[in-house]
């Protein structure tokens, strides 16, 4: 400069130094972070068979822990209260698994009765696809998907995945016992942690509260949704109504896309037994139940317990399903919230990013203010225009 003083070049220009407090350039930090995320994801995927039931048990323990605390407040000894919670949770898992096995067995028994109809439907769809120019290999794949043995193998694999998640009874039961026993110390540990890392302690407490609220509400609404779907399918005469009701219950935990997985089988079998009227009735019934439960009731009850954007929610389902399988899709919200808790909520300097990933409470307030200002400006402009015309 003319006065002889020196000015450091702006950030981002050649020769610029990293910002104060940063040891490395931002690009280096971002690349290292992405590389670390890839390595961690690969490691998670490598131990998915044991990690999936552990994560499931962790979420179940978080949801059930207040029950044990409530029993203790009523004078029940701690060991009995903890044991009661373990038995109830494990009993519910075992009962659900048993019901699923019975429903699948009934489905496998009745499936051969519809073999000819499924084959004919596959042939009709294949002919239509060929007529509109779809590749022959893809048409053949679609046709094979209507083969009864392929359908049975698909649901058998799905049932096997469920066994790997909720049916790994030894892992789940063992982890339930150990986690429930360790949960006794959690309140005291959080108080100790709060003296040294208050932000982390608060974030963990809020995470447990939010996940508990989300999972409990989703479970109760999923039960209602499954029962209503089962009853409707039974009235419509759709085969294996109980199995499709259980599928609807499981898919209620999968945001955005679970509804589409749950509705396809009853549509197909509704069409086989009653033609297009029954298939359309299934679409209408499922649409109404899903709209009321997941689009109206659940958001009002859960509120800001999740605070994830729709885009991030959908991506989280895909991401966790790829990493740890079907349980990842079911636990996508709790697992994403856990990552957010560790990386963002526990760091006061990272709070600025929360609105970008879905915490839009403040954003909506600002938008309402902006909308009110814009509305008043439009009204003022119209009144000014009328005044000019009158003058």
Quick one: average pLDDT of 106-135?
69
Give Cβ neighbours of residue 337 (< 8 Å, ≥ 6 apart): 207, 210, 211, 306, 308
Q: Mean pLDDT over all residues of the chain?
A: 80
Residue in 91, 90, 68 with CA at minimum distance from that of residue 80: 68
Q: Could you give the residue ranges of the DSSP H alpha helices within the chain? A: 26-46, 48-73, 78-110, 115-131, 136-145, 148-165, 169-182, 186-196, 198-236, 241-251, 258-290, 298-302, 310-324, 326-330, 332-340, 354-357, 361-390
Domain boundaries, the chain: 47-194, 197-357
Quick one: average pLDDT of 153-166?
54
Q: What is the pLDDT of residue 334?
A: 92
Predicted structure pTM score: 0.78
Q: How confident is the model at residue 81 (pLDDT cuts 50, 70, 90)?
A: confident
Interatomic CA distance for residues 18 and 25, integer angstroms: 5
| CB-CB contact of 176 with 90 (8 Å) | yes
Interatomic CA distance for residues 306 and 313, integer angstroms: 10
3 state SS of 114:
helix
3 state SS of 110:
helix
Residue in 313, 345, 266, 148 with CA at minimum distance from that of residue 353: 345
Q: What is the pLDDT of residue 145?
A: 58
Interatomic CA distance for residues 240 and 266, integer angstroms: 8
Quick one: average pLDDT of 193-197?
89
Residue in 267, 342, 336, 285 with CA at minimum distance from that of residue 307: 336
In eight-state DSSP terms, residue 350 is: G
């Amino acid at each position: 400069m003319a006065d002889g003083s020196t000015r450091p070049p702006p950030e981002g220009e050649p020769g610029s130094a990293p910002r104060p407090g940063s040891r490395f350039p931002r690009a280096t930090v971002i690349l290292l972070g992405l590389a670390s995320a890839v390595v961690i994801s690969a490691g998670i995927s490598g131990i998915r068979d044991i990690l999936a039931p552990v994560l499931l048990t962790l979420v179940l323990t978080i949801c059930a822990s207040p029950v044990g605390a409530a029993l203790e407040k009523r004078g029940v000894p701690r060991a009995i209260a903890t044991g009661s919670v373990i038995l109830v949770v494990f009993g519910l898992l075992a009962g659900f698994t048993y019901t699923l096995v019975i429903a699948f067995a009934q489905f496998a028994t009745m499936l051969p009765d519809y073999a000819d109809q499924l084959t004919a439907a596959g042939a009709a769809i294949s002919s239509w696809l060929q007529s509109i120019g779809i590749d022959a290999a893809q048409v053949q794949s679609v046709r094979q998907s209507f083969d009864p043995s392929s359908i049975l193998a698909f649901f058998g694999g799905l049932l096997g995945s469920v066994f790997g998640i909720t049916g790994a009874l030894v892992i789940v039961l063992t982890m339930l016992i150990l986690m429930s026993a360790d949960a006794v110390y959690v309140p005291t540990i959080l108080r100790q942690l709060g003296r040294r890392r208050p932000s982390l302690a608060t974030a963990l407490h809020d995470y447990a509260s939010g996940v508990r609220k989300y999972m409990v509400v989703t479970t109760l609404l999923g039960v209602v949704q499954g029962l209503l779907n089962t009853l409707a399918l039974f009235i419509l005469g759709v085969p294996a109504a109980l199995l499709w009701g259980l599928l609807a219950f499981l898919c209620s935990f999968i945001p955005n896309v679970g509804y589409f997985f749950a509705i396809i089988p009853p549509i197909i079998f509704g069409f086989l037994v009653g033609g297009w009227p029954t298939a359309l009735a299934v679409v209408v019934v499922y649409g109404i139940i899903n709209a009321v439960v997941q689009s109206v009731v659940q958001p009002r009850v859960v509120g800001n317990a999740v605070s994830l954007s729709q885009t991030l929610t959908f991506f989280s389902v895909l991401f966790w399903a790829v990493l740890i399988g079907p349980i990842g899709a079911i636990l996508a919200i709790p697992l994403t919230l856990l990552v957010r808790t560790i990386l963002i909520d526990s760091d006061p300097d990272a709070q600025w990013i929360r609105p970008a990933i879905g915490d839009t409470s403040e954003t909506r307030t600002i938008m309402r203010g902006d909308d009110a200002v814009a509305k008043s400006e439009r009204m003022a402009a119209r009144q000014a225009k009328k005044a000019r015309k009158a003058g």
